[in-house]
């Protein structure tokens, strides 16, 4: 259901409405690792229950995805991808509305 590079938003909890990028998947314990490049960095990703996440965009940035897979991505790559997504119009992102980030 989730792939590295997907942009997701938690549906519940104190960080609901924020935007994160999927940076890893831990299938053994059914958790998705997410980072935003600011509070949650690649060195310290947040583990989230996949049932509490909604996908906003699939693999937004091919360059960032390939860098994630090669373990060469940086927090600035993630921030750039999220900022590009937030800067797009509602039609361009497929009608996904985000609460305040």
- For residue 40, what is the domain's CATH number? 2.30.30
Identify whether 68 is part of a domain.
Answer: yes
Is 92 inside a domain boundary?
Answer: no
Q: 96 in a domain, yes or no?
A: no
User: What pLDDT does 66 receive?
Assistant: 60
Q: Report the pLDDT value the prediction gives residue 3, as an integer from 0 to 100.
A: 83
Distance CA 61, CA 85 (A): 10
- Domain around 32: 7-87
Mean pLDDT over the full length of the chain: 79
Could you tell me if residue 32 is inside a domain? yes
Tell me, rounded to whole angstroms, the distance of Cα 14 from its chain centroid: 16
Q: Is residue 100 part of a domain?
A: no
The answer to whether residue 46 sits within a structural domain is yes
pTM for the structure as a whole: 0.76
Number of alpha carbons in the 13 Å side-chain half-sphere of residue 94? 7
Residue % of the chain over a pLDDT of 70: 73
Note whether residue 80 is domain-resident. yes
Q: Domain total for the chain? A: 1
Q: What is the pLDDT of residues 66-93, one digit of tens each?
A: 666 556 778 888 888 888 888 864 445 4
In a domain, 93, yes or no: no
């Amino acid at each position: 259901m989730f792939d590295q590079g997907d942009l997701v938003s938690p549906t519940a909890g104190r960080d609901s409405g924020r935007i994160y990028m999927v940076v890893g998947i831990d299938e053994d314990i059914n958790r998705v690792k997410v980072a935003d490049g600011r509070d949650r960095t690649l060195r310290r990703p947040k583990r989230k229950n996949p049932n509490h996440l909604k996908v906003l965009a699939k693999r937004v940035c091919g360059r960032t995805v390939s860098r994630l897979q090669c373990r060469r991505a940086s927090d600035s790559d993630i921030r750039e991808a999220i900022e590009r997504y937030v800067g797009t119009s509602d039609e361009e992102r497929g009608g996904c509305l985000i609460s305040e980030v």
